[in-house]
Amino acid sequence: MNISTKTEYAVRALTELAINSADKPVSINDICKNRNLPVKYVEQLFRKLKQNGLIKSIHGAKGGYQLALKINSISLKDIMEAVDENYVAPFCNGKPENNVHCIGLPCGFKELWDEIKEHMEKYFDSIKLDQIVARL
């Protein structure tokens, strides 16, 4: 399984927020500088993270971003769903209509793939941002 760049960068940026935004908002420029991330890319990710209620923006001269939820309530699955619509890559060539057929034949593996996807989603949901920060 491959973790997308969207997910990787979002997790890196959110760990920076989790570590440094308790007292005051953190600017995207500071986040990107501290985590060696591209500003334009993180700006796009932050729009999605904000739309999904994971972060909030603070306006003004000393503005920036903060987590909108407690660090122990944001899961890796929440982050992945917010920034990457296909975070658990679909099987069978990535097309939903192909889930029933593999290489033109009825696919006997569909139930297995669905079960694996369900386990992966549960696992990603069990990993919280505070656990990720604790590993740094």
Residues 32-52: what's their mean pLDDT?
Answer: 95
Tell me what the mean pLDDT of segment 69-73 comes to.
Answer: 94
What pTM was estimated for this model as a whole?
0.82
pLDDT at residue 111 in the model = 74
Structure tokens at 124: 């990603």
Q: Using an 8 Å Cβ cutoff, are 92 and 98 in contact? A: yes
Segment 59-82 mean pLDDT: 92
- Is residue 89 a contact partner of residue 55, using CB atoms and an 8 Å limit? no
Map out the domains of the chain as residue ranges.
Answer: 5-87+128-134
Average predicted confidence (pLDDT) for the chain: 85
Residue 1 is predicted with a pLDDT of 61
Residue 92 has pLDDT above 60, yes or no: no
64 or 113, greater pLDDT: 64
* Antiparallel, parallel or unpaired: β 105-106 and 101-102: antiparallel
Query: Above 60 in pLDDT, residue 23?
Result: yes
Phi/psi-derived region of residue 92, left when phi > 0, alpha when psi is between -120 and 50, beta in every other case: left
Has residue 56 got a pLDDT over 70? yes
The fold for domain 5-87+128-134 equals Arc Repressor Mutant, subunit A (1.10.10)
Q: Is the pLDDT of residue 7 over 80?
A: yes
